[in-house]
Amino acid sequence: MLLGMVVIVLLGGLLYTRIRDGLVVDRLVVARSEATRGLRDAQARFDTVTDPDGLNVLVNDLLPRLASPEGDRSREVVLMRALTNDRPPVVPELSSGDVSGSTIPESLRQRVTSSSQQQQEFVRVRYSGTERTKPGVAIGSTVTLPVAGTYELYFVFPMDREQATLDLVRRTLLGGGIALVILVGAVAYVVTRQVVSPVRQAAVVAHRLSSGRLQERMRVRGEDDLARLAASFNTMAASLQAQIAQLENLSRVQQRFVSDVSHELRTPLTTIRMAADVLHESRTDFDPAVARSAELLATQLDRFESLLTDLLEISRIDAGGELLDLEPVDLRDLAARVIEAATPLCQGVLDLHVPPQECVAQVDSRRIERVLRNLVVNAIEHSNGRPILVRVALDQEDPHRAVAISVRDHGVGLRPGEAALVFNRFWRADPSRARTIGGSGLGLAISSEDVRLHGGWLQAWGEPGEGSCFRMTLPTGPGAELTASPLPLAPEQDDLGVGSPYLRIVPRSGPHPLPRQDRTVGRA
């Protein structure tokens, strides 16, 4: 529409100036030839008289005839004494049709007196006794009157008719232009509505589809390009829906299978467990090789049991609809409990740093305890006896926003890229790595699901030889939104140790608190 308006304005302007120039040029050509003829006639008539009276009579008679005939006021005449004429005035200054002498501007008079040629200028034609003026052109030259000397004779051509024509043209162009703009606007509106509304509808349907409403379809109307688009869109949606349904079905079957197998294995496992316990208890009666086998049987059964428990947990999570048993928990107590239980497994320093104030969050304590236990056991397994530091912290800016627990060890660490892989199911850095405890590779996968259910983050950092750090950040309640974690993940930011407002408690094993230089042992 804007473009249309610009084009119409430009075109209208051009047309208007063209018509105006044409009208003016035509009028000028006619005016000039009339003036030349009139001047020649007048000079010839003036040359015929010799006395002042005759001259006066001639002038009074001639002027009305030089002007256009009565009724048609398209040409007027003005006779004035030349600016340089200093003879006594014999003939008065005269004009036809009440045209005032002030119509002739000073500049034109100067040019006429100083030149023998005809001169012209556009003027406002004024009339004596009235305020009204008209646009026009004045063409003049000097004439020599016998006895009276040099006079200026001007022909004034009012251009009011041209003005009227131009006004009509302007009104027509303006009216036409406005009508055209409205028409362009209406056409644009109709066309865009026709194109845009189906596209909008398509966008709405696509949005609904992407938000999971797979049965949404577009309406197909007519046979144009948009109808074809809608038809292909619907085909795509239908095939997507079919494939997703198939995949859902498949994954449901798989989940059922895993969960059924785990359940089915439980009963025989219980029986085996009881038998193994009997064997284990009476191992002292066996010869050493058989006793060793009984021990192996017992430890491997432990692993088997924990694997089964993990599998059942994973299939429960996959089945969805897991409900959290939320309650306010002080994470300092929770961490202390976990550390207490894990200490017997640990050969090195296992330290806990907590802030003086309460770190309460609405969590499912069973799950969060399981997560932390897994993190601590992992750290013990991979730290090779080097110090382990567990830290609890509260969001400094807004204590009602986030709490965090991090487990930092100085053991084998993680290779580049492994920090993201550790949360994958059954992933282990080195399947052949010698282990004393655990080892199915499901622990962190379950942990990350648990943390995700709470709306929190579970992140890992590690470098080979430097150790690793696992950080769990939890919102304090269901309404809180996580934006940052109160604890650092990588050790560059690791300045919250000893000396900070954090209290050190529970120095479990090892005689020393965990000084900074101790940690460099791990790096060495």
Ligand X SMILES: Nc1ncnc2c1ncn2[C@@H]1O[C@H](COP(=O)(O)OP(=O)(O)OP(=O)(O)O)[C@@H](O)[C@H]1O
Question: Residue 505's binding partner, choosing from Mg ion, ligand X, none, with beta-carbon cut-off 5 to 8 A by kind?
Answer: none
The secondary structure of 366-431 as a DSSP string is HHHHHHHHHHHHHHHHHSTT--EEEEEEE-SS-TTTEEEEEEEE-SS---TTHHHHTTSTT--S-T
Of ligand X, Mg ion, none, which one sits near residue 351, judging by CB under 5 to 8 A according to partner kind? none
Contact positions with ligand X (CB under 6 A) in 385-414: 409, 411-414
Interaction residues for ligand X, span 68-127 (CB under 6 A): none
Tokens found for residue 499: 């000396």
Contact status: 411 vs Mg ion (CB under 5 A): no
Site for ligand X, residues 333 to 352, rule: CB under 6 A: none
User: Is the Cβ of residue 355 or residue 443 nearer to ligand X in the bound state?
Assistant: 443
Residue pair 435/402 in contact by the 8 Å Cβ criterion: no
> According to CB under 5 A, which residues from 367 to 386 bind Mg ion?
374, 378
The smaller minimum CB distance to ligand X, of residues 104 and 379, is found at 379
Q: What residues are paired with 471 via a beta bridge?
A: 406, 459
DSSP conformational letter for 127: B
Stretch that binds ligand X, among 8-16, 316-324, 354-362, 422-430 (CB under 6 A): 422-430
| Rg (the chain; Cα; Å) | 53
Choose between 218 and 350: whose C-beta lies nearer to ligand X: 350
Interaction partner, residue 497 (ligand X, Mg ion, none; CB < 5-8 Å by kind): none
Cα–Cα–Cα angle for 512, 518, 519, rounded to 5 degrees: 130
Stretch that binds ligand X, among 204-212, 248-256, 435-443, 513-521 (CB under 6 A): 435-443
**Minimum CB–partner distance for residue 481 and Mg ion (Å):** 29
From 116-124, 148-156, 263-271, 440-448, span contacting ligand X (CB under 6 A):
440-448
Please give the residues from 361 up to 380 whose contact with ligand X meets the rule CB under 6 A: 374, 378-379
Closest residue by beta carbon to Mg ion: 443
Nearest distance from residue 348's CB to ligand X, in Å?
A: 13
Residues in CB range of 456: below 8 A, 6 or more apart: 472, 473, 474, 475, 482
Question: Shortest approach of ligand X to residue 485 CB, angstroms?
Answer: 18
Q: What are the backbone dihedrals phi and psi of residue 158, each rounded to the nearest 5 degrees, phi first?
A: -65, 140
The minimum distance between CB 456 and ligand X, in angstroms, equals: 17
Residues 283-312: x where in contact with ligand X by CB under 6 A, - otherwise, as a string:
---------------------------x--
Q: Which does 429 bind (CB under 5 to 8 A by kind): Mg ion, ligand X, none?
A: ligand X
Q: In terms of DSSP bridges, do strands 388-394 and 350-354 run parallel, antiparallel, or are they unpaired?
A: parallel
CA distance 131 to 271: 126
How does DSSP assign 297-361, residue by residue?
Answer: HHHHHHHHHHHHHHHHHHHHHHH-------EEEEHHHHHHHHHHHHGGG-SS-EEEEE-SS--EE
Q: What is the closest distance, in whole angstroms, from the C-beta atom of residue 418 to ligand X in the complex?
A: 7
Q: How far is the CB of 358 from ligand X (least distance, A)?
A: 28
Q: Does 450 bind ligand X (CB under 6 A)?
A: no
**Is 459 a residue that touches Mg ion (CB under 5 A)?**
no
The SS3 assignment for 512 reads coil
Minimal distance in Å, beta carbon 428 to ligand X? 3
Q: Closest distance between Mg ion and the C-beta of residue 408, in Å?
A: 16
Q: 110-128 as b/e, with b when 16 or more CB fall inside 10 Å?
A: eebbeeeeebbbebebbbe
Structure tokens that stand for 431 in this block? 């399947």
Helix/strand/coil for 458: strand
Shortest distance, CB of residue 323 to Mg ion, whole angstroms? 25
Q: Is 439 in the site for ligand X (CB under 6 A)?
A: yes
Q: Which secondary structure element, helix H or strand E, spans residue 161, and what is its range?
A: helix 160-210
Among 315, 406, 459, 468, binds ligand X (CB under 6 A): 468
Helix (H, G, I), strand (E, B) or coil at 242: helix
Contact 462, 419 (CB under 8 A): yes
Query: Cβ 306 to Mg ion, closest distance in Å?
Result: 10
249, two tokens: 């079905």
**485 part of the interface to Mg ion, by CB under 5 A:** no
In the complex with Mg ion, the residue whose CB is nearer, 337 or 370, is 370
SS3 510: coil
Q: Does 136 bind ligand X (CB under 6 A)?
A: no
Assess 443 for contact with Mg ion (CB under 5 A): yes
Distance CA 272, CA 316 (A): 25
Tell the residue number behind the tokens 């020393």, with chain if given. Answer: 512
Contact 508, 350 (CB under 8 A): yes
CB-wise, 72 or 430, nearer to ligand X? Answer: 430
User: Is residue 419 part of the contact set for ligand X (CB under 6 A)?
Assistant: no
d(CA 287, CA 371): 41
Q: Which stretch binds Mg ion (CB under 5 A): 220-228, 263-271, 382-390, 434-442?
A: 434-442
Spatial distance between the Cα atoms of 279 and 214, rounded to a whole number of angstroms: 58
Residue 318: alpha-carbon gap to chain centroid: 37
355: partner contacted, choices Mg ion, ligand X, none (Cβ within 5-8 A by kind): none
List residues binding ligand X (CB under 6 A). 310, 374, 378-379, 382, 409, 411-414, 422, 427-429, 438-445, 462, 468
List residues binding Mg ion (CB under 5 A). 374, 378, 438, 443
